[in-house]
Structure 1
């Protein structure tokens, strides 16, 4: 019966590993009930001595009855006896639970169907564990079904298994192994009765069994040591990037979870944030030129006739951000002047399931904690295992200094972008193709055509901003462009991108955030700043953002038209260089020349003049290794420090009392009578133990002095010193009046030096660095902790016959 109970405990502790998969605790209590039902069935099978094959059938029947009571009692007879209706109800709940699991992402809500699936699955694991351990007596094999519970969260969740949950599960399995070992050893041959201490008092009179306490204690030591090592060793090892023989990248079928990423629907997420009833802060940022910028998250490059989508990003370990600069921005020529900016971004901790970093475009270098990788084609930065929530990172950008004259001069350069940025469906309505040609009929260049398309949405087309617009079909696109002309940023961005492609300009749709608003010394971006805008490609400068969405009070307030798409202002003196994608509301205001440059940022601007991040102020790797080695050395020197403190207290401090000497009774009497003698005797005992000359328990102080003098051939001074210490101890112990006892510090030092001269140098070094006497005390502390678990085994719920008689 002990194995049945231990099997149930091991299963339930292993079920703790499932907690990250669920919201709420309904699954916990339903699983507990299932485990208890299986345990009750196992106890019944053991009581009736049923064969091993019959016990799982009884457990399955008990599980069925429990699930009927818990989830289909209204359809059962007498609330517990299964009927046809109750079976149909359980099958329906199973189907609903399976559909919910497919629909929700972890952590899933604990609906009734999901709770039923979880309880049934845990019950099956409990039946398998009971079969292996209690019926087949193969407790070690019971770890296989328990491992199945651990693999479920490990394969679903990106985060590693929580170490407290792992410890609980491991303790349950170790307890099962200990119970199995106790059962096996307890039935070896004829019982041998031995004198026992605490364990003997708990045995029922008249019942004899082999003494297995020593074996159990050794098993606990091994089990607990294994658990501690399993938790601590991986935490201390450095994280290594797995070596792959093939470049699968993200989205391929390479080994491990690091080669796949779940991409949410950017369009649905965008509208959801815009429709939130109240504004929530998403992130804050600062940059060296104190200018607001659009922060891109996704780049949608495919158009199926209904809406834009995103190609699966690819990023091999070579494209990790901590490997150095990112790949070169597509289309940006070396001769094009760029503005180098460093932006510090802080993501809110309330952001959920965001595995892409919001970044100004084009990023050149990123400094962020975690495994973040850059897609080579779009420079989106993502992670397959880390989340952006609460992350603080730096990004250096090299933004092309685009001007109307520069963009006009690039018209003769054929675009080298991928053909997918020009593709439109063949079944696109002819009216839309005609509209694209009419709007750009008088355009002198691709840049001029792009500007005319933008002005169609912002000025001449009489478009209005409205979040209630629905639909993504061809007809919805036609209605938006030709009839309704009302929508929000998704329709504006997608429509301009389609019209640009029809005019031979590579285009894609970006989703992210506008520059937000200035709050204090930081720019603050909220959910209402979620935005979508088109990016158009020009050979020589690469991808540039355009803004067709109305802004201000009648549109999306923080949206701003890029300055390189507006007519050049009349000369009014020195002006700052325009920044693509800037969303500052003060872009058109006159600037005081005295405020154009912040003297405190002069050094910082010099550092980023080359387009990279400032030098990392964090500690170099060699220093970190040195600190780690120093910390490890200090940890190893803890026993030496404890020994040094103990010796100083004994020798120099009067009034010290022996806490744990070799002979407790003797040391207690000596300490009470004369503290200095007690200190000298305890110190001598530890010195002997450190040098491998431990005192025999039966040796008197005089016999010890005589043995050491003869065995190690002490000289006259050393022999006199050890005899003086032994004589003082015996006088304090046995004499009515020990008389005057002189200082013993010199005698103790003489004896210690004499003993040290008789051992090897290695033994002396060990006595200083890893003193066995201190390690003995630490080991004793651990044994007393393990004894506490023995006390739990000695608890009995039933009173013995002797107790009843009393």
Structure 2
């Protein structure tokens, strides 16, 4: 029964490793309850002496009953007896829990499904541990299922496992191993030490009973276990970090309905409307770039349409897509044909921004320099974090913006877009009037690009649309009313409607939410809450995703909205040449000549090589080779600690050996001389003992100083001078130890140096190098110090035994 309880303790302590994955502590108590249920089932199995294969079945039955009581008691008979309805309910919760952990980023919310899934997993681990430890008697192998609990947070989280959780889990496993060892020795092992205990029974005299004394084994196990835990906690601090491999995918969350909404992302559309409705403008961020032009800063990319509004597929960021790992994934669909404008932008987020875990960025970002764990979604290049917030953040982003020409976009007609089908998906119940409107607006378009221009112009010119924040909400009828009847809305309605119409005519589309370019204040651009904006992005194979602007601009609409040059009406043929401004910039900003001073911001982001390569400026931080060098130097210093300690000890002893004793002039001086002489001899003897240990010539415990000198002289064939020096040291030691008056003590530094040189000549060069770099004498002291620390745990055991004996005696 002891092993069953120890297996339950080990399983529950290992469950502490899961704590960083959850927001609250409800899973903890549920896991405790399910482990107690498994332990109870194990105790029953032991009591009834059931076969090993029956114990796991009983444990599964106990787990089923406990989970039914905890999560489906209202559908069970007498709260605990499973029924068909309770089984269906548990299955539903398991499915919801699995969907939630795939949707959320750690730490996940404690929904019923997540808690059920966690408790069930811990129960399976506890059953496996009980089977291996208590039934099959393979306690060491039970560490494998316990390791599975550590694998989950290790592969999901970027941070290492919490040291305190590791120590708790390790102590639980060690207690299981100790319990297994006691069981083996107590029942089947050979009793080496026997202690007598008195066992009193009612009505009979006390009888003596002999039992195997396993306290030595228990204390040895504690020493080994505590030493192993200490090394496991301290040793990784001296090793380089390794990137975990993600076997489990945890998303970040997005828009959804019902239970399981995002825990880290507010509804992008509601947040957009809320900022536009603010009574006064507030600064959200400022930015500066190396061409001094305004740019749209995208935060979210909404790609799914459910018939009412656009939502976002949960972005996924693998460890290899961290911003600190270098360039981001390639922009989808971007080929070599369009001209690329490489820009570097410095962005500062206001401290007042709350709950923003996505970075506002120009599109498409190629490289980002930012502090914290930020990752890029491969499909959309949104950059997000599951644990950092953007408030108060300053970062730099390098973008490679395509500058397509009209001729290039026209030439892409007929090329099948290689994108995910979700960018073309529309609900089957989309109103027919909306479908007909898309065909009507794009009638006569000769190319896909021409159709996109006609859709944008429909909202800005012939459609007679009006900009107004007072809208009717989101529904299929609201979409139809906006397009067919009312034609009044704000940027979200314009962007979503154009994206829906584009999908209807076969153009992949999505809706972007972020900020327009803002206004220029000094040498930086200032973006406020009134610059919150939504715009459609259409996909063209060979160029990628391009923003369009169907929302009216100016005083009658979104004031800072700008129509990209490629999305403006087809230019009229002129005799001159014109440049193609950056997407997202206004025509006025594009046509104005830029002076050298206007093109340079305060951070000088356009230093030589930056614009040409499209990469960030060189990092001023320490290069990798320097960091490696510092790490190696620190490791070398750590390894030289024993050598330094030996050198300090030797220097201190040598100083005392060189003390010269003069003839005493009075009784007080004689006592001082005698005391110093004894210290000199003690230092010489201690130094000689360390030298012998370092060279592998350790003194025998029973050897006297004279016998030691004689053995060393004969064994290593010392010359006469070295033998005399060794005899002088041995004679001084014997006089100090045994004589009433040791007499005159001569300086011993020369004698000791002569002996050390003679002994060193008899050993190999490798032994001499080891004596200098890793002196065994110093390592012996460190080992003895560690043993003394571990002996402190033995004192606790002794105190407990003494208290028990005192209680029995009382």
TM-score band, normalised by shorter chain: 0.7 to 0.9
Residue 8 (structure 1) aligns with: 8
With over 3 angstroms needed to count, the CA separation of the structure-2 counterparts of 1:169 and 1:412, relative to structure 1, is closer
Q: TM-score, normalised by structure 2?
A: 0.73
TM alignment of 1:490-569, pairs within 5 A: 490-500=492-502, 507-515=509-517, 531-536=533-538, 543-550=545-552, 559-562=561-564
Report the 3-state secondary structure (helix = DSSP H, G, I; strand = E; otherwise coil) of the residue aligned with 1:137: coil
Match of 2:575 in 1: none
1:269 match: 267
Q: Distance in 2 between matches of 1:580 and 1:724?
A: 93
Question: Are the equivalent residues in 1 in contact too, given 2:253–2:315 (CA < 8 A)?
Answer: no
Over the residues paired in the alignment, what is the CA RMSD in angstroms? 5.5
Query: Which of 671, 681, 685 matches 1:681?
Result: 685
Deviation of 1:608 (Å): 1.4
Inter-CA distance 71–97: structure 2 relative to 1 (3 Å threshold)? closer
Q: Deviations over 1:188-208 (max 9, x none)?
A: 565333899xxxxxxx99644
| Deviation, structure 1 residue 361 | 2.2
* Shift of residue 677, structure 1, vs aligned partner: 2.7
Q: Is 2:142 the partner of 1:142? A: yes
Number of aligned residue pairs: 749
Match of 1:418 in 2: 416
- Provide the residue aligned with 1:786 in structure 2: 790
Instruction: Go from structure 1 to structure 2 and tell me whether the alpha carbon gap of 1:443 and 1:33 turns closer, same or farther (over 3 Å shift).
Output: closer
Q: CA deviation at 1:762?
A: 1.0
Counterpart in the other structure of 2:97: 101
Unmatched runs of 5 consecutive residues or more in structure 2: 197-206, 257-264, 572-577, 660-673
Q: Is the 8 A contact 2:327 2:367 kept in 1?
A: yes
1:526-578 CA-partner distances (Å, limit 9, x unpaired): 8886643123467997654222235689866764444666799xxxxxx9985
**CA shift at 1:750, angstroms?**
1.4
Tell me, yes or no, if structure 1 residue 178 matches structure 2 residue 194.
no
Aligned match for 2:779, one of 731, 751, 775: 775
Going from structure 1 to structure 2, the CA distance change for 1:411 and 1:554 (only over 3 Å counts) comes to: closer
Q: State the partner residue of 1:380.
A: 381
How do 1:219-618 and structure 2 match up within 5 A?
Answer: 220-221=223-224, 224-225=227-228, 228=231, 232=235, 236=239, 239=242, 256-257=247-248, 264-265=254-255, 269-274=267-272, 286-296=288-298, 327=330, 330=333, 336=339, 338-344=340-346, 359-365=361-367, 375=378, 380=381, 394-400=396-402, 407=406, 413-415=411-413, 418-419=416-417, 431-432=433-434, 435=437, 453-454=455-456, 456-457=458-459, 461-466=464-469, 469-471=472-474, 473=476, 475-500=477-502, 507-515=509-517, 531-536=533-538, 543-550=545-552, 559-562=561-564, 578-582=581-585, 595-598=597-600, 604-613=606-615, 614-618=617-621
Alignment correspondent of 1:637: 640
Q: Secondary structure at the match of 1:702?
A: helix
1:610: how far off?
1.1
User: Separation in 1 of the partners of 2:584 and 2:133?
Assistant: 66
Query: Any idea what SS the aligned residue of 2:534 has?
Result: strand
What CA deviation, in whole Å up to 9, does each residue of 1:385-434 have, x standing for no partner? 987756976432233557xxx54x65753436534789686986564466
Native 8 Å contact 1:4 1:39 kept in 2 = yes
SS class of match (2:343): strand
8 A Cα contact 1:327 1:364, kept in partner = yes
Post-superposition Cα deviations, 1:11-40, rounded to whole Å, max 9, x if no partner, equal 221111221333222332343455456657
Q: 1:750 aligns with which of 751, 754, 765?
A: 754
Distance in 1 separating the partners of 2:252 and 2:605? 42
- In structure 2, do the counterparts of structure 1 residues 753 and 335 end up closer, same or farther at CA, with 3 Å as the change threshold? same
TM-score (norm 1): 0.74
Change (3 A) 1:66 1:308: closer
Q: Work out whether residues 139 and 176 of structure 1, in 8 Å CA contact, stay in contact via their aligned partners in 2.
A: yes
Query: Deviation at 1:7?
Result: 2.1
Cα 1:348/1:771, change in 2 over 3 Å = farther
Contact 1:410–1:539 under 8 Å retained in 2:
no
- List gaps (5 residues or longer) in structure 1: 76-81, 197-203, 243-254, 569-574, 657-669
CA distance in 1 between partners of 2:311 and 2:619 (Å): 37
CA distance in 1, matches of 2:282, 2:125: 44
